[in-house]
Amino acid sequence: MNHDRRGRLGGLDLNLLLALDALLHERNVTRAAERLGLSQPSVSAALARLRRHFGDELLARVGNHYDLTPLACRLAESTSAALTGVERVFTAVHGFDPARSDREFTLITSDYAVTMLGEALSRSLAEQAPGVQLRVEPPNATTIDQVTELLRTVDGVILPQGFVTGLPHTELFHDSWVCVVSADNSAVGDELTVEHLAELPWVSSYYRPANHTPAAQLNLLGIRPRTHIVVGSFFAVAPLVAGTDRIALMQSRLAHRLAETMHLRVLPCPFDAVPLIETMWWHPMYQHDPAHQWLRGTLTAAARLLPPVPA
């Protein structure tokens, strides 16, 4: 395997990977050269080498601009991941000193998890690692489908258990699911019934049903929620329920935090909802990375500071 790899890569250098990434993102030799801080002739020469290597034009002229060829479109999806991997290899150190580090960490997580962990995590970064940068990005429709590839380019994904399997992870904190309705929803009394779940219109979050979610349990109960609105933010659920006859599932910690200001009522689920276990997942290549171990420990410490789940 190693001999075959040397044969395939022996005539290439890492500068070509940098040039490929810039060319595919800029789709223009001049702008790619400016991005790399190189001359236009040197980037043109790199493009010529890349075209010979791949046997493909990569950038195809269309009128007065260039478009990516089908092969280039596929390459664009992996060059950034490859560069991130290379950077991690060559910036790896035997130990990690958070007080002196300027490393950037990237986490994919929901606004709910940020709300729960953000204050303690931010305080820890300010006190222990003032030079460290943290980038927090929301999940999207491809996060779960391509999670293994995604985790090559980011430091972690924080999701409830039930969506990701077979990867290193650590449990951060537990929560429970509750139902929320508007405080003035006259269709719901002091208790919520299974009939209410089937009759009322729903606001649903972006997570599609998985094996260990209340949405999947509703399906098993034969309930097909009448979803009127789907949102990509847990915070957006509350204002879309308030003042309407809609209903939604929310995490108990978040629901109780928002209930008073958003004029909501928090009610127990009329079925035995599975517990929510918010979990951080990462790629196996980071398992023994000292910097990554520090990040995981910092997140775990932040989670331990959370108060108990509201009754």
Please report, for the domain that includes residue 168, its CATH number. Answer: 3.40.190.10
- Is 59 a domain residue? yes
Task: Please give the pLDDT value at position 299.
Answer: 97
pTM above 0.85, yes or no: no
- Is 310 a domain residue? no
* Shared-domain flag, residues 166 and 187: no
* Shared-domain flag, residues 149 and 183: no
Question: Does the pLDDT value for residue 169 go beyond 90?
Answer: yes
* Shared-domain flag, residues 270 and 126: no
Task: Please give the pLDDT value at position 75.
Answer: 83
Task: Please give the pLDDT value at position 199.
Answer: 92
* Shared-domain flag, residues 288 and 170: yes
Domain edge (last residue) among 36, 62, 90? 90
Q: Which residue has the higher pLDDT, 217 or 54?
A: 54
* Shared-domain flag, residues 56 and 71: yes
* Shared-domain flag, residues 289 and 144: yes
Task: Please give the pLDDT value at position 92.
Answer: 58
pLDDT digits (tens, 9 = 90+) for 69-101: 888 888 887 787 677 666 666 665 557 899 999
Question: Does the pLDDT value for residue 123 go beyond 90?
Answer: yes
* Shared-domain flag, residues 145 and 192: no
Domain edge (last residue) among 61, 90, 119? 90
- Is 218 a domain residue? yes
Task: Please give the pLDDT value at position 132.
Answer: 95
Containing domain of residue 132, as a range? 104-174+277-304
- Is 97 a domain residue? no
* Shared-domain flag, residues 260 and 293: no
Domain edge (last residue) among 68, 90, 112? 90
* Shared-domain flag, residues 84 and 115: no
Q: Please report which confidence band the pLDDT of residue 2 belongs to, taking 50, 70 and 90 as the band edges.
A: very low
Task: Please give the pLDDT value at position 106.
Answer: 93
Q: Which residue has the higher pLDDT, 77 or 111?
A: 111
Tell me what the mean pLDDT of segment 210-226 comes to.
71
* Shared-domain flag, residues 240 and 266: yes
* Shared-domain flag, residues 73 and 133: no
Task: Please give the pLDDT value at position 94.
Answer: 59
Least confident of 139-143, 231-235, 244-248: 139-143
Name the domain count of the chain.
3
Question: Does the pLDDT value for residue 256 go beyond 90?
Answer: yes
- Is 13 a domain residue? yes
- Is 99 a domain residue? no
Bridge partners (DSSP) of residue 136 are 107
Least confident of 159-168, 182-191, 210-219: 210-219
Please report, for the domain that includes residue 80, its CATH number. Answer: 1.10.10.10
* Shared-domain flag, residues 13 and 85: yes
- Is 309 a domain residue? no
pLDDT digits (tens, 9 = 90+) for 8-46: 555 566 778 888 888 888 898 999 899 888 898 998 998
- Is 311 a domain residue? no
